[in-house]
Structure 1
Amino acid sequence: MMKPGTLILHVAARFLVPLQLVFSVFLLLRGHNEPGGGFIAGLVASGAFALYLFTFGAAVTRDLMRVDPRNFIGVGLLIAMLSAFPAWFHGQAFLTAQWWPILLPGGTEIKLSTPLFFDIGVYLTVLGSVMTMLVALTETEER
């Protein structure tokens, strides 16, 4: 059900949300080598869902997210915490970066790393925290 006078916002939200989410993944993936990373990427993703939330409401946004935002906080903290342990298994200091080269079909090599896993954990924690607050505030307002 569309509110009168908000056609531009509805169209813009449907166009901008996917772009913002793709941009947040870009920031996440380049963040451990250059400026960016899990925190700012999580904020950009939260901004995308916030735009959708303010346009279509809390119930529709919860359906879009498919996962309770509080679950993102727990999973994010777990992933960030687990990124510290590979260094211990190699007898190195806490949170020392570890890199694992992976050969893809076609001969391309990518390197997975503990900083990337830490950034993914931060990303999910920030996304979950911001969205938990925003959804709670808008659900209270809708009642």
Structure 2
Amino acid sequence: MRSVILQTATRLMVGLIMIFAFYLLLRGHHEPGGGFAAALVAGTGFALFAIAEGPAKVRAAVRLRPTLIGMPGLAIAALSGMPAVLAGKPYLTGIWWRLGDAGGGALTIGTPLFFDIGVFLAVLGAILSIILGLEEH
């Protein structure tokens, strides 16, 4: 059963859900959020899209097999601890870099962001595998 109302609402909602997931991903180290929570939110967006449009449209939108999303995520999360080891610190200790001027305009990024991105991709790959597997059977 296809609902025109659900399909129309989904077009708006999925975009908003993905923006919120991106927001959660970026704020995760200093405040509640992070890669796991962001992937769960993004997964709900894909689940809504699969319910409204079917799994074939989700596969077309994602363009990659879920394992090709999840496995690099595991690698990124694991490798995010290596800069600390190379600096002589314990594995997964946060290392931070300042990009830009020393004043208020500098952007600070660190290994926790890369860890969160890896977790996001790994969890999203697992969720997409589950969603697409359930929707197709």
Answering whether residue 99 of structure 2 is matched by residue 99 of structure 1, we say: no
Shift of 1:36: 0.7
In structure 1, what is the Cα distance between the partners aligned to 2:50 and 2:66? 13
Answering whether residue 112 of structure 2 is matched by residue 85 of structure 1, we say: no
Shift of 1:7: 1.4
Unaligned runs of 5+ in 1: none
Runs of 4+ off more than 6 Å: none
Answering whether residue 123 of structure 2 is matched by residue 132 of structure 1, we say: no
Give the TM-score of the pair, scaled to structure 2: 0.94
Work out the percentage of aligned pairs sharing the same amino acid: 45
In structure 2, what is the Cα distance between the partners aligned to 1:119 and 1:45? 14
Shift of 1:68: 1.3
Partner of 1:74: 71
Partner of 1:108: 105
Give the TM-score of the pair, scaled to structure 1: 0.90
Kindly report which structure 2 residues correspond to 1:11-30, keeping only aligned pairs within 5 A, or say none.
11-30=8-27
Answering whether residue 28 of structure 2 is matched by residue 47 of structure 1, we say: no
Across the two proteins, how many residue pairs are aligned to each other? 135
Unaligned runs of 5+ in 2: none
Please give the root-mean-square deviation of Cα atoms over the aligned residues, in Å: 1.4
